[in-house]
Amino acid sequence: MSALNGKRKEYLTVKDLQKVLDSCKLNLNQIDEVLPNIYIGNVAVAQNKAALQKLADDSTHFDLDVYFQPAADFIHKALKTPDGKVLVHCIMGMSRSSTLVLAYLMIYRHLPLKQALKKLIQKRAIYPNRNFLALLLDLDLQLTRKNKTCQIL
């Protein structure tokens, strides 16, 4: 019986993901570069043309998941252009915007959700709401199943 317990697959929960997020010791800033040329910020930065120009010159029941693929595609395409940079923003710059960047990391960088979370919290204090975390868990499961199917073929 103990051999079965050792081989049992451990599934992530929203609570597990919140523990990872709670480990972030960073202060929330108006804008942060979370990956090379990918920024997460709040609405004040998004409405500040001078701040956006400086960036360019510096070489709870919302179905956000319908935007995962289009946002990831947009980020990916923008980063492929010469000197491409992307600002992903929402009002507070910590839930919707970070959720879309996490989806990008999972879809295009092939990172599991927990690893993507750890990567982002090294650069910015983020806190996707429970609903968004659940949607990301679903995406994580879909991508894991897809990868397993591709490996079998």
Q: Is 6 exposed, middle or buried (0-12, 13-18, 19+ CB in 10 A)?
A: exposed
What whole-number distance in Å separates Cα of residue 72 and Cα of residue 153?
Answer: 25
Identify the active-site residue in 90, 107, 111, 133: 90
In sequence order, which ranges of the chain are alpha helices (DSSP H)? 2-7, 14-22, 43-46, 49-57, 68-80, 96-108, 113-121, 130-152
Residue 143 gets which letter from DSSP?
H
Active site residue 150: no
Tokens of 112: 């599991």
Q: Are 117 and 111 within 8 A, CB to CB?
A: no
List active site positions.
90
